Amino acid sequence: MDNTSRPSIVTVLYPGCIFFELALATELLAEKYQIIFVTPDGADHQASNGSVIRAHASYKEVDLANCKAVLVPGGDPGSIQDNTDIDQLIRTAHSKGLWLAAICAGPFVFAKAQVLKGKRIAHGYNQEHLEFLKSYFEDVELTNEQFVCDGHVITAKPDAHIDFAVELACRLQAADATLANRTKDYYRGTLGRKIRPLALALIQNEKGQFLFHRGHDRVKGEYFYRPLGGGIEFAESGIVAIEREIAEELNLAIHVSGLKASFENIFAFEGKTGHEVILMFAAAFKDTSVYEKQELDILESGTVIAKAVWKSVAEIKAEGAKLYPIGLEEVINGR
């Protein structure tokens, strides 16, 4: 395949940047896109580990006509603080609606180009840095989150470089969003080798039906239903986790009324062993009009991956499908 015929991803390099923070992102994106490296003057870039990365163009020369995203690593972007060519590159990319992705100190490059006004971002700055840089981040919400996607701007803390890479690849259709969590665990070296804490939401409508994700295990040839939710992050309570997960999966807000049950679930899915500890919460949608919808889109990494449907236990049994986690039927029936 002629690489030049493919759409491009522009990767911004600068003296003092840490390319490692973008290494996995460029690896994943290279499956579908041509990776273009740009430097202030078009000269090759010597990375912090001594490797030399060949530059394709300078900031001023780069062509964004067939570009889909601009990536900026962290490090010390002070070396390009007074560079106006990078400002023009970022502003042009922003005006075209391209994905703008930066990690650690990289958001500074977007801030100085004035494209972050009104945005929420993740970052790798300490308080001393923020005090020094506060004039650049006026009207920008600096969160303590590991990863943030706000519109077409993606930002992350440095230790979230795996999440950053996979989320970006999913949004650019270079990775399968349905396998996002498994892909992250693979690169963390924990796939199939860790206990995963989960928070799930038990949401019921007036008909006595519950909102479930309908899944399929291709190895077992089995269809199953499971409440919505996801992983509990470090230092995050189960209630906060389920509120965040439902917001991410359905783009909806819920009210959590209490813990219904807890489960330990050792299982096999698609031939792989999994081990979960689950907190099951009773919850309700704040927007009651949601209950009138027959099904809802489930999002992962900004992509619709499945549907959430209303089903009773009796309907699931009549279909010949399974209800997971094991023991949930007893909880629903009050046993």
The full set of domains in the chain, from first to last, is 3-175 (3.40.50.880), 193-332 (3.90.79.10)
User: How far is 144 from 62, CA to CA, in rounded Å?
Assistant: 33
Q: Say what the pLDDT of residue 230 is.
A: 93
Q: Say what the pLDDT of residue 193 is.
A: 84
Q: Say what the pLDDT of residue 1 is.
A: 31
Q: Say what the pLDDT of residue 2 is.
A: 40
Residues contacting 145, CB < 8 A, separation 6+ = 122, 157
Q: Say what the pLDDT of residue 317 is.
A: 95
101-122 pLDDT, tens digit each: 999 999 999 999 999 999 999 9
Quote the percentage of the chain above a pLDDT of 90: 85
Beta strands 196-203 and 222-231: pairing type? antiparallel
pTM of this prediction exceeds 0.75: yes
**Residue 103 phi, psi (nearest 5):** -130, 150
Q: Say what the pLDDT of residue 132 is.
A: 79
* Spans in the chain with pLDDT lower than 50: 1-3
